[in-house]
Amino acid sequence: MNMCKDIFDSYKKNDVKQLIERLETVGYVIDGQEKNGLYYSSTQLKCMSDEAFAELCNKYNFSCKVELLTIGNYYPYYGNILIAFNQRIHNFNAAKKILDNYAITLAY
C-alpha cells in the first residue's frame, strides 16, 4: 500500500482549492499549524512534492502558479517541523526563517 497515494486520494476538490489559495497568497503551509480551517500533517507535507502537487491540481482541473518545495528542520522539544512553500513567493532562506519563527512561537 502506497501511503502517499492514499493521502492524495483522500483530498477533496475543496481541500485542493483551499491549499492552492493559501500557497498563492500566503505562500506556505506548516505542518501542525491551523490557519482558517486549513491543517496539514507532517505526513501530508512529506508526500507533497512539486510533481505530486501538480498531479493533484490536474486531478481537479485547477490551474495555479505554484512551484512547491517542502523542507524541514529539527527543533529541540518539538521535533521535526515541515514547511511546504511556493518558490514564486518565498525563497529557501525566507521559508527557513518563517519555519524558525514559527518554532519560536511554540515556546510561548
**What SS3 state is found at 82?**
strand
Residue 92: pLDDT above 80?
Answer: yes
Over residues 22-62, the pLDDT tens digits come to: 999 999 999 988 877 778 888 889 888 888 899 999 999 99
28 and 84 in contact (C-beta within 8 Å)?
yes
pLDDT at position 82 = 94
Which residues are 28's β-sheet partners? 85
Residue 1: what pLDDT?
46
Q: Is the pTM of this model over 0.75?
A: yes
Residue from 75, 74, 72, 76 nearest 85 by CA: 72
Q: Quote the CA–CA distance of 31 and 46 in Å, as a whole number.
A: 10
